[in-house]
Chain A
Amino acid sequence: MWNNISNFAAIIANKMVRTKLNDLDLLPLGARDESYDGNYKDAAILPKDLVAAADAQNTGFYNLNLGATNVVTVTTQKGIIDIIKIDDTSPAISFGSAQVIYINNPELDLTLANRENIYIQYSVYYSPGDDDNAIPYVLASGALTTGLELSIFNASPVAPIPGGEQWGGALYLYYELYTIN
C-alpha cells in the first residue's frame, strides 16, 4: 500500500489517522538486505522499538583530551564524551576559575547569533580517583566559531591533596545537542 502516495488521501478521508498506538501496532520498514533486488526487503517494526533503536543510532562516543585541545567534534545528536587530562589546579577550587570546552557539530549552526535555535541538554558523571577531591560543575556559557561552549568548574572547596591526582577520576559528559532551524 505504500507504493502509492495517493493512499494518504484515502487514509485521511476515511479518518484512519491515528493519534495513539496499540501495543502491537507495526510500522512498515525497508530492511537493508543486499540479497534482494533494490537491496531492501519488506519488514515491520514496533514503534517503541523504532524510537529506541533510532535514539541509539543517534548516540555516539567521543574523546576529549584537554592536554591537547578543548574542542570535541561530534556528528550525532546525542553523545557520551570522555574528558581526560584536566589540569590539577585549573579549574581552581571553589568555583575559582573555569575550563572552557567546545562541542562542535559542523552540520549545525552553533554560533551565538543562532542561540535561540540551539537546544542543549547535558549531565555529568564523575567518579573520583585516588586522592582526588574534584567535584565538577558544568555550565553552558556561550558559543564561539569552534562550537557550543561549556564551562567546567571545580565546586569542591578542598585543596588538591599534595602528591594526589586532582581530576584523576573518570569524567563523562552526556549531551543532547541540536538546532531547530
Chain B
Amino acid sequence: MATKKTKDVVEEVKPKVTKAKKVKVEEPVVEVKKSWLELAREQAHIKYNK
C-alpha cells in the first residue's frame, strides 16, 4: 500500500507578547510593635480611665 507522504508542517510559533500591567506597589505598613505588657497597661488605662 502506498502511504501518503505528509509534509512536515512547520508552524512558526510566535511568542505572545503581553504588555505588563502596571501594578500599584503599596507602601508597606510599618506597625509599631508593642509588648504584651505595654498593650495590657494601655487597655487597662482606657478601661479604668486612670
Contact = CB atoms under 8 A, between A and B. Distances in A.
A100 B44 contact: yes
Interface string B28-44: 00000000110111011
A118 interface: no
A146 interface: yes
Contacts of B7: none
Contacts of B50: 146
Residue from the set B37, B40, B43 with the largest chain A CB neighbour count within 10 Å? B40
B36 A97 contact: yes
Interface residues of A, number: 12
B48 A99 contact: no
A72 to B, nearest CB: 13
Contacts, number: 27
A98 B40 contact: yes
B48 A90 contact: no
Contacts of A90: 43
Interface in A48-75: 69-70
A141 B40 CA distance: 11
Contacts of B37: 98, 100, 141-142, 151
Contacts of A97: 36, 39-40, 43
A99 B44 contact: yes
A151 B48 contact: no
A111 B42 CA distance: 19
9 contacts: A70-B47, A90-B43, A95-B36, A97-B36, A98-B36, A98-B37, A98-B39, A99-B44, A100-B37
Interface of A: 69-70, 90, 95, 97-100, 141-142, 146, 151
Interface of B: 36-37, 39-41, 43-44, 47-48, 50
